[in-house]
């Protein structure tokens, strides 16, 4: 499928962990980045909170470098709802052909299965006119697999 200038993605999965356990992990940008870029598949490096930010502050800026091309990515937790287990974040500066980026993760209980959760991740990317489409395609390909990485992480910890 060709990349559109405004590219939207939606992924969801059932996780083998209760909502509180999942939320404690995925609300922390450092932990979720570690989960979605493990070891030799690492697409992020040098992940750090910036300007006094932390997992418990909102807004909270964090930076990392893409292993794909060494470019700095600057993102910020823009909103968090602890009760409804929802968090939105966005890019604060364009990079690697992505002019803007917004995403939301949500964790829902499964009523009849309290030890499991429903997880969804929606994203919107606006692609720059002069983007190197091979780099953008590589970034999108990685994003396409990240919800599965979250699922697999909780499947391992459930055993």
CATH of the domain at 16: 3.30.530.20
Q: Which tops the pLDDT comparison, 143 or 109? A: 109
User: What's the mean pLDDT when you consider all of the chain?
Assistant: 88
Q: Which residues pair with 8 in a beta bridge?
A: 124
Is there a domain that residue 67 lies in?
A: yes
Is there a domain that residue 1 lies in?
A: no
Is there a domain that residue 150 lies in?
A: yes
d(CA 115, CA 11): 21
Q: What pLDDT score does 155 carry?
A: 92
- What's the burial of 39, exposed, middle or buried (CB within 10 Å: 0-12/13-18/19+)? exposed
* Domain membership of residue 126 as a residue range: 6-158
Is there a domain that residue 85 lies in?
A: yes
Average pLDDT value for residue range 39-66: 80
Among 12-26, 35-49, 68-82, name the one with the lowest average pLDDT. Answer: 35-49
Is there a domain that residue 111 lies in?
A: yes
pTM of the model: 0.87
Is there a domain that residue 70 lies in?
A: yes
Average pLDDT value for residue range 79-108: 94
Average pLDDT value for residue range 76-88: 97
Is there a domain that residue 104 lies in?
A: yes
For 134, residues 6+ apart whose C-beta sits below 8 A from its C-beta are: none
Could you give the number of structural domains in the chain?
1
């Amino acid at each position: 499928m060709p990349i559109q200038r405004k590219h939207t993605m939606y992924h969801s999965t059932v996780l083998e962990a209760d909502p509180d356990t999942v939320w404690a992990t995925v609300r922390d940008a450092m932990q979720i980045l570690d989960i979605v870029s493990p070891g030799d598949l690492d697409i992020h490096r040098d992940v750090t909170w910036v300007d006094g930010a932390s997992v418990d502050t909102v807004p909270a800026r964090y930076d990392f470098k893409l292993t794909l091309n060494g470019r700095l990515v600057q993102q910020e937790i823009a909103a968090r709802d602890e009760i409804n287990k929802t968090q939105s974040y966005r890019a604060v500066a364009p990079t690697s052909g992505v002019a803007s980026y917004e995403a939301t993760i949500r964790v829902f209980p499964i009523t009849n299965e309290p030890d499991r959760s429903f997880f969804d991740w929606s994203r919107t990317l606006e692609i720059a006119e002069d983007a190197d489409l091979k780099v953008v395609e590589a970034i999108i390909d990685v994003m396409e697999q990240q919800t599965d990485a979250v699922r697999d992480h909780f499947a391992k910890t459930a055993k």
